[in-house]
Structure 1
Amino acid sequence: MQMLRSAAAKLGGILCISLCMVSIGQSQQPEVDPVDLSVSPSGEAQDLHLEVYINDEPTGLIGSFRQLPDGDLSAQPEELREVGLKPMDNARDQDGSIRINRLANVEFRVEVETQRLYIYTDNGARSAKIIDANPRPEKDTPKPQSGYGAVLNYSLFASTDDLMSSNVKPFQGVSGGFDARFFSPYGTLSQSFTANLSQGELEGVRRLNTTWSFSDPERLITYRAGDFISGGLPWTRPVFLGGMQIQRNFTLRSDLVTLPVPVLSGTAAVPSTLEVYTQNVRTYSGDVASGPFEVTNFPVFSGQGEAQIVLRDTLGRETRTTVPFYSSSSLLRKGLWDFSADVGVARRNFGTESNDYDDDVMGALTTRYGLTNWLTLEGHLEGGADLVNGGLGVAFPLGAYGVTSLAAAGSHHDGDTGLLLNGSIEMTYKNRYTIYGRVQHTFGNYDDIASVTASDQLNYIYGVSGLPAISTRVPKSLVQATLSMPGPFEGSSMNFSYTQQTLESRDKSTIVSASYNQQLFKSSSFFATAFTDVEDSGSFGIFAGLTIPFDNNISVSTGYEQTNDGPSGFAEIAKSEQRVEGGYGWRLRTREGETPDRYASASYRGRHARVEGSVQQYDDNVRATAQIEGAIAVAGGGVFATNRIDDAFAVVDAGAPGVDVSYENRPVGRTNGRGRILVPDLRAYEPNTLAIDPANLPVDASIGSTRDIVVPADRSGVVVNFNVAQTTASALVSLMDAAGKPLDAGLSGRVGDAGEEFVVGYDGEAYISGLEAKNSVSVELADGSTCTARFAYQAARGTQVKIKNVVCQ
């Protein structure tokens, strides 16, 4: 298939449009004489390449057709669909090609002189032109990359005893949380732990996670070995395992739309301009040829929304049509497959024990599949140690108003069987009323990995202590309902929630809550919340307050609280800290009631770490705390102290100290004495733009580029080298002819026989590099002849060497 551009970009006319596959209008089909093609002179089939016109409108396409011995035309199905016709099965020939004369409501003629094929038909026989509103990035987009290095995130915390005590010993100990990781192109190995230092001795070291992970962005799969959380669904209970995991990871493709996208289809009577708006934001704009079309893969937002499609002709006349839709993370787009395969031993007492693992190996498989855009299938299977648990579920939309899901699962363990039923619904009406409901109930003795691996240990602990054993099974019943709606006044909203839970032990709780929010003057707001446990009259609470924002990120809040501990009032003034170097914040808060609670804190974010200090009075006790958090990174041949690095980062090598570096057009700092700077908070698996300002570079520096786009891998570091070098072997040379006239601008030259090439600029000046103490350059003149110039050169580091009046003859 060859693409041609039409001579006329747009033609005037009347537009007709259909949405969601409903046609509103058709092209008018003219009367034509029966087709009379000449039989091939050789009596054999021959290949033809014809420019295709449909209803006298050019498609801008050249199609490959085959003229049969009887004079008829045929084409391959994909070729026919590409030029704009539906390849109907009843027109299929024995070799799989489509005979055009057998297509219903299709007539054609061939204009031999111009090699054109004129097709006349209605919209019912035409194939829709597919318009991808969010195509994949170009192939030249950088692939995800990772260097070699390590990062240690740390958070150190210290506090005093009661400062009012006569024998107070301030800061007797320090506790810390640490997260270390080693990254390479072969994955990332992470290790986190906590440690306590008391009375000068190290104690209480506890290991948290030890995990190796590797992501494959081509297959959208992440592999993990070590400690991880198993995959799950809304009606399952994920567990902490030590073992191996293979998991689908859609976040490795930032351009991938996983939510079902509504079909926007229509028909343009003439070539037109097409615009698509989602939630009043233009998400696509382009030209569309005459005929039917479908817009796919345009960005959508979770929840209720609407898409508007606009067709505009060259005269400015436009047609607008709105299509409501509902998107939810519960649904997968047609053809997408999500899964997680896990195997390992359950880990218990995370955070308090370093190596408490169950003895039995368990496995779990969780999957979701978008069967259609309106039906997502779910499945879950887990087992091991005489446990078998499996279930199926479905999720489907309720028109443009919501989505619902249903699931059922069964289990068998140690002779006991159980059943779980789960159903949920979420709905939105006019983007103002939102309802969510969920009902779950178990029958018999329903078990899963969480209950089986935890029950033995808990039963042992409670048996030894003499306390009654507790059940770790899924609650017998769970009912949840929430309602969000606008309030009685402009700028107000109300929320109501109901949660009822019945445990295996028959203990029951029914919590009801209500909240009200009211926007007031200058972004101020009033809030009120109340809750109670219907089953426990002593469990209740009422909160009400007012928040007033001011300039410089300062806000004031005041309010009243009433709980079963008694009434209290509070007042607070705070300045929020900005996540930039030099950002600072502070907070003053007092709560007055039966037990006074007063608090003051201040924080500062520097280039190398973030520090915070506070003083708190609770009742008659007063204590002070101090905290410092940051990171140490080893990458790109350097060691950097910086703020905490939770995702990817880059080491920028600008080749000189004091060079300004920006990230996404936002200044992030200047390079250090070695010409480097660490830029944190890059987005993994997404394009990140880094740039340098060449204004502070030495005048004799050679710059490879000032802007680069990198795509780092998960929690890894990349080195961005702008190839800046100080080229002391260069000079600005003024060249003139034998008569003393500067050489003409635009002439090209070369140093020696095979040295650096250069171009002569205005006034005969040429920037020439690759020089030595004595140099000979040749310049090709306009008449084809060549002149030669000789001059001496002496380097002057840090300045631009200029050599005047060099004669070329």
Structure 2
Amino acid sequence: MSRWARARSEWWSLLLAAPLAAVGQTSAEDLQRTLERLAAERAAAAPRFGETLLLGLRVNGQAQPQTVRAVRVPEGLALPQTLWQELQLRPPSTPPRMIDNELFLVLSDAPGALVRWRIEELSQTLELEAPPQAFGDQKIELDRMATQVTLPAQLGLFTNYDLQWQRRVGGEGSLDGLAELGLLTGRGDLNHLMLYRSSRGWTRLDTRWTWDRPEQLATLRLGDVISDAGSWGRALRMGGVQWATDFSLRPGFLSFPLPTLKGEASLPSTVDVFVNNSQRLQGRVQPGPFDISDLPLVTGQGEIRTVVKDLLGREQVVVQPYYISPSLLKPGLTAYSVELGWVRENYGTQSNRYGQGLTQLTWRRGINSGFTAEGRGELAADQQTVGASGLWLLQDWGTLNLSAAGSRSRDAQARSGWLGTLGVERQGFGWSGAVEVRRASPGFVQRGQPVSPRWSGSATVGTQWQGWGLGAGLVYQGTLQRPSPEGFINPGTRLWTFNAGRGLGAWGYVGLSMLKAGHGGGTAVSVFWTLPIGDHQSVSTSWQGQRGGGQPAQDQWQLQFQNNPPPGEGLGYQALAESGGRRQLQAQWQDRHVALSGGIARAQGRTDLRAGIGGGLAWLDGSVYAGRRVDGGFAVVEVADQPNVRVTHDNQVVARTDRSGRAFLPTLRGYQVNRVGVIADDLPLDADIESLDLQVTPAARRASLIRFPIGVSRTATFTLVDEQGHPVPAGADLRPVGQMRSFPVGLDGRAFVAGLGAAPGPHRLDVRWPGGGCEASIELPKADRELPDLGRVTCKALAPPPSSTRSDP
């Protein structure tokens, strides 16, 4: 019993005894006996410490299914620790008690206790009143799971080709092309890319071995690689080795920090989350505080509205602005790139020219949700450059980027120097923009730009106004501080841009773009209008004008009609006419094996012809397949030896099976779910179909074999007779050997059987009836007949005959 209940009992005793003494209706002995009786009742009603109670439970007015075992203790009421965990209540400040070898936590009677309690004597129910702070925190995590590869890799080879032939009528022609060779294995892939020019022959572009490590979110590359530029460096082509973080190996993985939504509920409640007025989440939470992390949000500026509604219909609405930058890293997350090798020179013109050795390291780490640090270094025999960068989140407004780097060189004109960079970026509803300014000292050097301008920078801004999308930009680069190693001095440049566009609904889209070069440069203006007139067709017209820059004024009108080819097989074409007399007509045709293109152009009295062919060849599982260009990984689909069956990839028809029931898919997305299916209308009626749609997840740049669970089930009818030519008894049980399914024999021995294999036979049949049985064998005709009639089939008696009906397994 609580203190308040004991005090109330004592007051009632005095109120009952006082009138008796005052009116003299009883003697002093009677009064004494009355007081003793009341004291005894009060003692009986007082709590007996150590007493065990079995009680119902109600929390914040809501009945709970548990039956509670409670024990009275001097500090209050002890409840099992397991019950506190089930109710997700925070442990109390009072020390726990061990009762009957079980740990109990105590509900205190103290005035400052967070959880208030009382026992409703009539129903023997424990009633708890607990605010949200009394419950433990709940965390609703929506983080993406690691990608699980479900499609095993096979050994595969492929080659891509793209040839373009051009010839001017009355002149000479030329043939150019690209060729790519690839070897795909379960331990990585080898890629070799070549360029062909009829005037120069073959030139090697890239040769690279790539090995992905999804469990480490990293990729190892050997051969020709492209280095990570970091915040202030230059991306370089190198020959050597690269070990770098690759977050794309886990699609859906969010490397940047997201805001965490916080709320609380006193009762079981529903939670609805709206991002920019679009619902993104609906769920249920138990009483107490809750956090929602890794909610899918749009990068840039936005607003989150959280609505919590409890069982009584009460709502809490919390509005939270946010800003997300994909350039930041989650707290504790690290990204890196290490390159060791030699700088590639004269790429595209020479096959194997490499310069000085170079080591580069770029390292980034998320310090907290609002700050990411970066360190970068370039180490070579004649030059060393190191620097540090920081990216800060400016609340819900944008990001700030600061970089500083220093260099040392053997160059007599650039012994040492420094570089500083300041940048601000914002993406928002009202407007978006970015500004970056770079300042370099005369002696600063870095790979890819041995001589830097003193000042350089850029600025862009974009907004929406009256249905128009508006954008403007400025790119500035000052004069180089000293001649380049080749002896050239590049003048400073300033380039202004402006663009505007607006959708016109059914009338298409209209746009304007302007470009102005500083330091006496010219101005170019373009106005265009595009009108879609079908799923794949469009008409567009444009005007382009150029003024200044020491050149005569130019004006050009253009009209174009375009019909894009469908994603699968089909024809596309384009017709173009310009005010200067230029005319052009070109077409593209593609099927599942090859893509062809051709065109003719007429300008200034000259006629040019062009033709092209592109596609890919692949080898897998002992066969060669022709198809379109292999992009990433490829697969061969098997459909139970069924020819001419359409195969879909993400609901688009992309291939047909050949005579052996195989189709070539030249493109599969690595580490993502790919939906591959077949069209049921192309399958025979006797096809045994388990699934028409498969969801497969291959690794990137892998060769795979996809087998559809589709078989052929043939049927047949016949008349079943015994060795004397008499019909088998009606109702006999007929079952093909090796199957679980059985068929009844009809009158006059007429029988029907299904589920037979595609092979002609023989197919053994087991026939049983009460008191007898026999065995038969049938062969199906080789002709493709859906329900052949096999005529009379003799069923030979079993020896010895069975004495009872066979039981089913």
TM-score under structure 2 length normalisation: 0.77
Find the counterpart in structure 2 of residue 494 from structure 1: 470
The farther-off stretch of 316-325 and 420-429 is 316-325
Find the counterpart in structure 1 of residue 555 from structure 2: 568
Find the counterpart in structure 2 of residue 128 from structure 1: 137
Q: Deviations over 1:142-200 (max 9, x none)?
A: 43642211221111011113x2x4xx35x3x31111122110101110000112346xx
The farther-off stretch of 703-712 and 313-322 is 313-322
Cα distance change, pair 699–413 in 1 and its aligned pair in 2 (3 A) = same
Cα distance change, pair 132–775 in 1 and its aligned pair in 2 (3 A) = same
| Cα offset, 1:687, TM superposition | 0.8
The farther-off stretch of 55-64 and 80-89 is 55-64
| Cα offset, 1:651, TM superposition | 1.3
Q: How many residues in Structure 1 have an aligned counterpart in Structure 2?
A: 713
- Say yes or no: does 1:367 pair with 2:372: no
Q: Output the amino acid matched with 1:586.
A: Y
| Cα offset, 1:683, TM superposition | 1.5
Find the counterpart in structure 2 of residue 392 from structure 1: 388
Q: Map residues 198-209 of structure 1 onto 2, 5 A cutoff.
A: 203-209=200-206
| Cα offset, 1:129, TM superposition | 1.4
Q: Deviations over 1:428-466 (max 9, x none)?
A: 44x131121111111242222334xxxxxxxxxxxxxxx
Query: Does the Cα contact within 8 Å between 1:582 and 1:606 map onto a contact in 2?
Result: yes
The farther-off stretch of 184-193 and 99-108 is 99-108
- Say yes or no: does 1:216 pair with 2:202: no
Q: Map residues 126-525 of structure 1 onto 2, 5 A cutoff.
A: 126-136=135-145, 142-143=149-150, 145-161=152-168, 163=169, 165=170, 168-169=171-172, 171=173, 173-197=174-198, 203-313=200-310, 319-358=316-355, 360-414=356-410, 416-429=415-428, 431-451=429-449, 472-487=450-465, 490-505=466-481, 507-520=491-504, 522-525=506-509
Cα distance change, pair 123–786 in 1 and its aligned pair in 2 (3 A) = farther
Q: Deviations over 1:517-555 (max 9, x none)?
A: 233362433322222233x21333222233333234222
Q: Deviations over 1:280-333 (max 9, x none)?
A: 443322222232222112211222222332334567765544322222221122
| Cα offset, 1:91, TM superposition | 7.9
Q: Deviations over 1:71-123 (max 9, x none)?
A: 977969xx988863457999899xxx997779984448899xx9999865432
Counterpart selection for 1:651 from 615, 636, 639: 636
Aligned counterparts of 1:214 and 1:66: Cα–Cα separation in 2: 63
- Say yes or no: does 1:547 pair with 2:530: yes
Find the counterpart in structure 2 of residue 746 from structure 1: none
Find the counterpart in structure 1 of residue 700 from structure 2: 714
Find the counterpart in structure 2 of residue 12 from structure 1: none
Query: Does the Cα contact within 8 Å between 1:61 and 1:83 map onto a contact in 2?
Result: no
| Cα offset, 1:338, TM superposition | 1.5
Aligned counterparts of 2:228 and 2:365: Cα–Cα separation in 1: 15
Cα distance change, pair 796–352 in 1 and its aligned pair in 2 (3 A) = same
| Cα offset, 1:242, TM superposition | 0.7
Q: Deviations over 1:570-628 (max 9, x none)?
A: 212121423523343333334435xx544332222222222222223343433221122
Counterpart selection for 1:608 from 593, 596, 601: 593
Query: Does the Cα contact within 8 Å between 1:732 and 1:768 map onto a contact in 2?
Result: no
Aligned counterparts of 2:71 and 2:454: Cα–Cα separation in 1: 69
Cα distance change, pair 255–494 in 1 and its aligned pair in 2 (3 A) = closer
Cα distance change, pair 722–440 in 1 and its aligned pair in 2 (3 A) = same
Q: Map residues 745-756 of structure 1 onto 2, 5 A cutoff.
A: 755-756=738-739
| Cα offset, 1:411, TM superposition | 1.8
Q: Output the amino acid matched with 2:166.
A: S
Aligned counterparts of 1:35 and 1:354: Cα–Cα separation in 2: 95
Find the counterpart in structure 2 of residue 29 from structure 1: none
Q: SS of the counterpart of 1:218? A: helix
Cα distance change, pair 204–74 in 1 and its aligned pair in 2 (3 A) = farther
Q: Output the amino acid matched with 1:777.
A: D
The farther-off stretch of 476-485 and 524-533 is 524-533
| Cα offset, 1:239, TM superposition | 1.0
| Cα offset, 1:685, TM superposition | 0.7
Aligned counterparts of 2:283 and 2:268: Cα–Cα separation in 1: 11
Find the counterpart in structure 2 of residue 455 from structure 1: none
Aligned counterparts of 2:371 and 2:137: Cα–Cα separation in 1: 24
Aligned counterparts of 2:124 and 2:565: Cα–Cα separation in 1: 67
Q: Output the amino acid matched with 1:680.
A: P
Aligned counterparts of 2:525 and 2:418: Cα–Cα separation in 1: 39
Aligned counterparts of 1:35 and 1:374: Cα–Cα separation in 2: 56
Find the counterpart in structure 2 of residue 7 from structure 1: none
Cα distance change, pair 658–117 in 1 and its aligned pair in 2 (3 A) = farther
- Say yes or no: does 1:777 pair with 2:775: no
Cα distance change, pair 409–272 in 1 and its aligned pair in 2 (3 A) = same
| Cα offset, 1:727, TM superposition | 5.7
Aligned counterparts of 2:391 and 2:96: Cα–Cα separation in 1: 38
Q: CA RMSD in A?
A: 4.4
Query: Does the Cα contact within 8 Å between 2:160 and 2:614 map onto a contact in 1?
Result: yes
TM-score under structure 1 length normalisation: 0.77
Cα distance change, pair 501–119 in 1 and its aligned pair in 2 (3 A) = farther
| Cα offset, 1:500, TM superposition | 1.6
Q: SS of the counterpart of 2:255? A: coil
| Cα offset, 1:664, TM superposition | 2.2
| Cα offset, 1:225, TM superposition | 0.4
Q: Deviations over 1:710-767 (max 9, x none)?
A: 1122222211011444466x76799999973487xxxxx9766xx3322669999764
Q: Map residues 579-594 of structure 1 onto 2, 5 A cutoff.
A: 579-592=566-579
Aligned counterparts of 1:63 and 1:329: Cα–Cα separation in 2: 51
Q: Output the amino acid matched with 1:127.
A: G
Q: Deviations over 1:347-381 (max 9, x none)?
A: 111111101101x3221111222222222222212
Cα distance change, pair 264–238 in 1 and its aligned pair in 2 (3 A) = same
Cα distance change, pair 716–774 in 1 and its aligned pair in 2 (3 A) = closer
Q: Deviations over 1:47-72 (max 9, x none)?
A: xxx99986465899999999999997
Gap regions ≥5 residues in structure 2: 1-44, 98-102, 483-490, 722-726, 798-804
Gap regions ≥5 residues in structure 1: 1-32, 41-49, 452-471, 744-748
Cα distance change, pair 438–774 in 1 and its aligned pair in 2 (3 A) = closer
Find the counterpart in structure 2 of residue 678 from structure 1: 664
Cα distance change, pair 126–623 in 1 and its aligned pair in 2 (3 A) = same
Query: Does the Cα contact within 8 Å between 1:149 and 1:182 map onto a contact in 2?
Result: yes
